[in-house]
Amino acid sequence: MLSERMQKAINDQINAELYSSYMYAAMSMYFQSVDMSGAAGWMNAQAKEELVHAEKFMNYVNERGGRVTLQAIEKPPSEWKSVLDTFEAALKHEQKVSSMINSLVTLARDEKDHMTDNFLQWYVAEQVEEEASAAEVVRKLKLIGDSGGGMFMIDNELGRRGLVPETSSGE
């Protein structure tokens, strides 16, 4: 059974994952409004992936005899200065989520909750991938600068990202 403290922390993380999905959906809508359909698709896939992350947390709480308590989701921004600014915001957000996951791991270890610590290791590895993916796009956008041709090429590349169903022992 989860401690009250751990249950509250995971419920807060569920809210953060749902906010992430909401934020990426807003970014997708922004990209659609500026005719960046590839970037919009990339962000849409990211929004769906975050819902999967939230669902995994919810299932885990229930499996451990806890109670999921959904909270209000903060309104995300709806405008960004540029494509680069949007992806830099996404990277910064992923770094924040990584910090939150690390705090959950620390709490699990402090409470000697080995089951939760084990469950969270999937998220630790996932955050490495999340940060690397956003950072790669940021680096490429910085390389192309104001090049219209470069922006066209990166938008096409971003549009090739598909949502791949995730599997883990944490399901």
Is pLDDT of 164 > 90?
no
Is pLDDT of 19 > 90?
yes
> Which residues have CB under 8 Å from 41's CB, separation 6+?
28, 158, 159, 161
Structural domains for the chain: 4-71+79-159 (1.20.1260.10)
**Which pairs with CB-CB distance under 8 Å and at least 24 residues apart come from 91-96?**
91/131, 91/134, 91/135, 91/138, 93/20, 93/23, 94/127, 94/130, 94/131, 94/134, 95/131
CA 102 to chain centre: 14
Closest CA to 150 of 38, 41, 70, 50: 38
Is pLDDT of 166 > 60?
no
Top pLDDT among 43 and 168 is at: 43
User: How high is the pLDDT of residue 168?
Assistant: 47
Q: Is the dihedral of CA 155, 84, 129, 14 positive or negative?
A: negative
Does the predicted model carry a pTM greater than 0.75? Answer: yes
pLDDT tens digits for 73-129? 999 999 999 999 999 999 999 999 999 999 999 999 999 999 999 999 999 999 999
